[in-house]
Amino acid sequence: MMDSCLKKLTQKLSLTSEESEACLQEIFAGQVKKETIKDFLTLLHNKGESVSEIVGFATAMRRAMSPIELSDNAIDICGTGGYTQDRFNISTAAAFVIASFGIPVAKHGNRGSRKSNGSFDFLEALGIQWDKNIQARFSTTHLAFLFARNHHPAMRFVAEARNELPFRTTFNLLGPLCNPASVKRQVIGTSTQENAEKLIEALQKLGTERAMVIVGSNGLDELSTEAPSLLYELVNGAVIRGVFKPKELFRSSMPLDPIGSAQQNADLCQRLFSEGITDHPISKAIALNAAVGVYIAGKSESIEKAYPTALAAIETKRAWDILEKFKSI
């Protein structure tokens, strides 16, 4: 199957979902050499992944993952990642805010693939041993952090090839589609409109109940406080496209300066949460993206209405209480 798939990709022809699923199953079975995997991923990157390919790959990846049962109502909030620049871990911090409303959150993520500033680098810098007491923590705090490498063991067959390539691969798109808790509602951030169009259609075909894919400004994979963001919402099987304009919520735009390392991010997050600081641009960005999660969970009529309550969760230190409780279990 791999040979025929490579031939089609060389001709810049898209694979069917069945062909894509079969190819990834071959790779996950350890039957494909590293150089062939690199060729496969490079051809996909050069052509651009089709929705049928994304759906097929996600189906194979879901079948190979190690699942975990948490809650039918759990949501995920994550980005496609793969960045090299300094940035704050907005979605990870937002998970604590969302959980403070009693909304179950199954946050799927990984370490940074290009730089040590991924979700799980951030959690470790916060002093969180994320791989222990998952069920107990979830029962108490409504929050679980699911480390991709622990739940997708077959990814070991692509890790070396993926790391040797100088670009983000199809797996950056697949990660958010393959949550080990099989969430039915999720928020996904990505950096381009093209990716967003593909992701929302893939979610639709994969049977996701409700989702929002966000394209932030300036290459962000989250809702921006500085400039308009594109929104793709999946509800009742239909896709609704829109634009979020921060000037309609904030009196002035709030650019986010690059932060830095996972430890610098963690130190800032702990200060904002422990002191209930809400006038910092990062606090507002965390609350804004948490508001999307509250909305997609069905606990608010709109992002705009959810925002002040999300900001209040920081001000009243409810988010800090969740973080501290999570660390203590």
Q: What is the pLDDT of residues 126-183, one digit of tens each?
A: 999 888 899 999 999 999 999 999 999 999 999 999 999 999 899 989 999 999 999 9
β 229-235/238-244 pair status: antiparallel
What pLDDT score does 111 carry?
Answer: 84
Q: Confidence band (pLDDT; 50, 70, 90) for 198?
A: very high
What pLDDT score does 287 carry?
Answer: 97
Q: Confidence band (pLDDT; 50, 70, 90) for 91?
A: very high
Q: What is the pLDDT of residues 264-291, one digit of tens each?
A: 999 999 999 999 999 999 999 999 999 9
Rounded Cα distance, 303 and 90, in Å: 16
Which domains are present in the chain? 2-64 (1.20.970.10), 75-147+168-328 (3.40.1030.10)
As given in the structure block, the two tokens for residue 199 are 């992701």
What pLDDT score does 218 carry?
Answer: 76
Residue 96 neighbours by CB distance under 10 Å:
28
Q: What is the pLDDT of residues 33-74, one digit of tens each?
A: 999 999 999 999 999 999 999 999 999 999 999 999 999 999
As a whole number of angstroms, the longest Cα–Cα distance in the chain is 59
What pLDDT score does 84 carry?
Answer: 52
What pLDDT score does 130 carry?
Answer: 85
What pLDDT score does 234 carry?
Answer: 98
Confidence (pTM)? 0.95
Q: Confidence band (pLDDT; 50, 70, 90) for 82?
A: low
Q: Residue 114: pLDDT above 60?
A: no
Non-local CB neighbours of 194 within 8 Å, separated by 6+ positions: 48
What pLDDT score does 116 carry?
Answer: 67
What pLDDT score does 219 carry?
Answer: 76
Cα dihedral 298, 301, 307, 308 sign: negative
Residue 256 neighbours by CB distance under 10 Å:
18
